[in-house]
A and B are shown apart, each in its own frame.
Chain A
Amino acid sequence: MLIFISVAFHAVRQPTRAHTDMTLFFGTLAFVILASRIATVGGGTPPPLLIAVEVAVLMATPYILLRLVDDFTHVRALVKRVAEFGLAVGIVATFAALPELPRPVILYVVGYFFVVSIYCAIAFIRSARNARGVTRRRMEAISLGSILLGTDLLVVGLTPLAPDDSRAIFQALGQLLGLSSAVAYYVGFAPPPILRRAWQEPELRSFLARAASLPRLPTTLDIVRELERGAANSTGTAARIGLWQEDTSKLRFWEDDDAIVDLEPGTHFAGRAFELQRPIFSADPIRDNPDSAASYRSRNIGAVLATPITAGERRLGVLAFSAARAPIFAVSDIELAGLLADQAAVVLESRVLIDHATRVRAREEAARLKEDFLSAAAHDLKTPLTTVVAQAEFLERRAVREPTAPADLAGIQRIVRESKRLAGLVGDLLDATRLEQSGLVGEREPVDLATLAQEICAHDTVDRSICRVEASAPVVGAYDRRRVEQLLQNLVENARKYSPDLTPIKIKVWQEDSEARVAVQDSGIGIPAADLPRIFERFSRASNVDDKRFHGMGLGLFICRGIVEEHGGRIWVESEVGKGSTFHVALPIADGRRLN
């Protein structure tokens, strides 16, 4: 009776179909209980008409329950019509059979009650499994109520058939089940605010706890997904976030398959909530926004709540909730949605700040790299130039002063050596520039990488280094000979530069599938794992490279990668600090065969 009064009070305040159905539902239960109480107190047998009315009301109960299923999820029209017909037949049969209810009629009534209740229970269990958060718990409570009610009716229906001495137990059990079911229904259909908050609390708490770490997720979409999940769990509805795109002036949503949907501000509920900067609730979106009726129907959306996401003056986007039916939402959900939107704003705004800081850092890093490069380039160019200039001037002065003196061979050799070094550096600088503009690789011809590696190795094997080639057969492809030579030369020079004297450098050349493979292996200082991803970038040098010991502009590997990629190949490195590095090159070979 108390539950009935409470629900009726709600229905008067908010006369919606769901509230009316709830009132009717608890009303029928209250009536049945009240009537049976009066009959018991009055003593004797109740008048047949009262029994018939009681039976009719009792039969209406599962039908109203079916309407409630429809209020919260969806019941097919055919099912509703069949249930209405079954109810009419039952009521007519009951009144027609007066004054005495024959057993088939009792069985029909009990059967009807049982079948419809089971149908409702299954529908609620199914929607509980698809729901989340507070809605899931509500649906679970309603499912439990339906199961208890079905069992109750079974017990009540069987009571007259039970032996006389155990009838009292059956009656007590029936009443207990009835009361439990009513409480479960009440908790599910119209959870008191305090219970609703208690159900929402764990979801909300976990959402808030995770919020702090969200801005650091890899992409904005990852953040959006997490916020949507948290918002959905907290409200027990489906949640979507649309982000305002400054450049296109549209709200961007991401579907489940990450497909992008752009929305004009002012259109749909989300666009209107964004434009008006206030929450918008629709208990009947098909009526309120008929243009999208088909979409709402196909996605089973019967209620929408949209609320703007705003950080101070900055309009960041919109948070939109949708549910199959309006009663899924509670009045307090508008407030909750606002709270979640504020939290989303904090997270998204933090993300913007982090992105900004990252960009600034990247710019600073780029500027620093450029500065480092300029300083290294200046140093590297000036060092050989010092010898060339000073030595040449000295030779000139000597030639003027003592024209007959023998040539200073050592001085001339120094000039030649340092001029070549200078030429190499200038070449690297020009190559790096050319690589970024027009490309390096020119005319191709058949090149045997095994022979090329041997030539380079022979040239490189001097008193302080050992170079070996491992190749069992020629590996021929169509390459720019000069550039591939430069590539191998660079890799071998690097290997030698970063290895202790007299440790061997190994070049392996082989063919694998349709690729020519080269591996240059050293036992040098290696490259720290943290530097590996950037090692082929321009100006990049490993952090364990002593700038003072290993002069270099950090262009060598950048040029190598350029040469390899322009040939359609790949270059990568395996390395361990202190053990050495192996640079791998894979070049396509198919073109070479054709040339041959």
Chain B
Amino acid sequence: MLVVDDDTSILDTVSSILSGEGYDVMSAASGQEALAAVSRKQPVLILLDMRMPVMDGWAVARALREQGSRVPIVVMTAAESAKRWADEVGAEGYLAKPFGLDELLATVERFRDHGGRAN
């Protein structure tokens, strides 16, 4: 599982929650770090922040698709247009900030034990 967010507090919080729940978690504080992490190890799910400097969520999603990666993406954003943005990048779902613990875990749960695809 890969968590991508330029806000280090959110990154650390989400990463530590997911590790605490027993997930195998990688974290990336930028788009470039995210692509590097994916090339090292294919995650089962990417939690992707959209508004990031230099390389934003759209660019990350595009780069992944161009590489032929089919990793499911869940968009994390504080914007009103969360659903539209999720559709734009072909994401499997979205988490609208601020999201609670249950919301986060329920979303992630759907991808546990699935080899990369949601049902």
Contacts of B99 in A (CB 8 A): 386, 389-390
Q: Is the Cβ of B10 less than 8 Å from the Cβ of A375?
A: no
CA A389 to CA B95, docked complex, whole Å = 13
CB distance from B91 to the nearest CB of A (A): 18
Q: Is the Cβ of B9 less than 8 Å from the Cβ of A379?
A: no
**Interface status of B51 (Cβ within 8 A of chain A):** yes
Interface stretch (choices B13-21, B33-41, B60-68): B13-21
Q: Is the Cβ of A387 less than 8 Å from the Cβ of B13?
A: yes
Contacts of A386 in B (CB 8 A): 7, 10, 13, 78, 97-99
CA A382 to CA B7, docked complex, whole Å = 12
CA A398 to CA B104, docked complex, whole Å = 16
Contacts of A549 in B (CB 8 A): 53-54
CA A378 to CA B14, docked complex, whole Å = 20
Of B14, B54, B97, B100, the residue contacting A383 (CB under 8 A) is B97
**Interface status of B113 (Cβ within 8 A of chain A):** no
Contacts of B26 in A (CB 8 A): none
Q: Is the Cβ of B17 less than 8 Å from the Cβ of A546?
A: no
CB distance from A363 to the nearest CB of B (A): 23
Interface code A383-408, partner B: CB below 8 Å = 1, 0 otherwise?
11111111101100110000000001
CA A384 to CA B102, docked complex, whole Å = 18
Q: Is the Cβ of B14 less than 8 Å from the Cβ of A390?
A: yes
- Given contacts A390-B100, A390-B104, A546-B53, is CB(A414)–CB(B13) below 8 Å? yes
**Interface status of A111 (Cβ within 8 A of chain B):** no
**Interface status of B88 (Cβ within 8 A of chain A):** no
Q: Is the Cβ of A391 less than 8 Å from the Cβ of B13?
A: yes
Of A383, A390, A418, the residue contacting B17 (CB under 8 A) is A390
Q: Is the Cβ of A384 less than 8 Å from the Cβ of B9?
A: yes
Q: Is the Cβ of A548 less than 8 Å from the Cβ of B16?
A: no
CB distance from A333 to the nearest CB of B (A): 66
Q: Is the Cβ of B9 less than 8 Å from the Cβ of A414?
A: yes
Q: Is the Cβ of B13 less than 8 Å from the Cβ of A394?
A: yes
Contacts of A418 in B (CB 8 A): 9
Residue of A nearest to B7 (CB): A383
Residue of B nearest to A387 (CB): B9
CB distance from B54 to the nearest CB of A (A): 8
Contacts of A547 in B (CB 8 A): 51
Contacts of A389 in B (CB 8 A): 98-101
Say whether chain B's binding surface is mostly helix, strand, loop, or mixed.
loop
CA A209 to CA B101, docked complex, whole Å = 72
Contacts of A378 in B (CB 8 A): 78-80
Q: Is the Cβ of A383 less than 8 Å from the Cβ of B53?
A: no
**Interface status of A41 (Cβ within 8 A of chain B):** no
CB distance from A417 to the nearest CB of B (A): 7
CA A391 to CA B79, docked complex, whole Å = 20
CB distance from B25 to the nearest CB of A (A): 14
CA A203 to CA B47, docked complex, whole Å = 73
Instruction: Report, as a range, how many residues of chain A touch the other chain.
Output: 20 to 34
**Interface status of B92 (Cβ within 8 A of chain A):** no
Q: Is the Cβ of A548 less than 8 Å from the Cβ of B100?
A: no
Q: Is the Cβ of A382 less than 8 Å from the Cβ of B97?
A: yes
CB distance from B110 to the nearest CB of A (A): 18
CA A34 to CA B17, docked complex, whole Å = 123
CA A385 to CA B20, docked complex, whole Å = 21
**Residue from A408, A418, A546, A548 having most chain B Cβ neighbours under 10 A:** A548
Within residues 44 to 91 of chain B, which ones have a CB less than 8 A from any CB in chain A?
Answer: 51-54, 56, 78-80
**Interface status of A338 (Cβ within 8 A of chain B):** no
Q: Is the Cβ of A411 less than 8 Å from the Cβ of B79?
A: no
CB distance from B4 to the nearest CB of A (A): 13
**Interface status of A294 (Cβ within 8 A of chain B):** no
**Residue from A386, A394, A408, A418 having most chain B Cβ neighbours under 10 A:** A386
CA A378 to CA B100, docked complex, whole Å = 17
CA A164 to CA B72, docked complex, whole Å = 125
CA A306 to CA B104, docked complex, whole Å = 79
Q: Is the Cβ of A411 less than 8 Å from the Cβ of B9?
A: no
Residue of A nearest to B52 (CB): A548
CA A54 to CA B97, docked complex, whole Å = 111
CA A382 to CA B10, docked complex, whole Å = 11
Interface code B1-32, partner A: CB below 8 Å = 1, 0 otherwise?
00000110110111011001000000000000
Interface code A411-444, partner B: CB below 8 Å = 1, 0 otherwise?
1001001100000000000000000000000000
Contacts of A382 in B (CB 8 A): 78, 97-98
Residue of B nearest to A378 (CB): B78
Q: Is the Cβ of A393 less than 8 Å from the Cβ of B101?
A: yes
Of A379, A388, A394, A414, the residue contacting B78 (CB under 8 A) is A379
Within residues 207 to 246 of chain A, which ones have a CB less than 8 A from any CB in chain B?
Answer: none
- Given contacts A382-B97, A389-B100, A390-B104, is CB(A548)–CB(B10) below 8 Å? no
**Interface status of A259 (Cβ within 8 A of chain B):** no
**Interface status of A410 (Cβ within 8 A of chain B):** yes
CB distance from B55 to the nearest CB of A (A): 10
Q: Is the Cβ of B100 less than 8 Å from the Cβ of A375?
A: no
Q: Is the Cβ of A548 less than 8 Å from the Cβ of B12?
A: no
Further 19 A-B residue pairs, CB within 8 A, beyond A389-B98, A548-B52: A379-B51, A382-B98, A383-B78, A384-B9, A385-B97, A386-B7, A386-B10, A386-B98, A387-B9, A389-B101, A390-B17, A390-B99, A390-B100, A393-B101, A394-B20, A394-B101, A411-B13, A546-B53, A548-B51
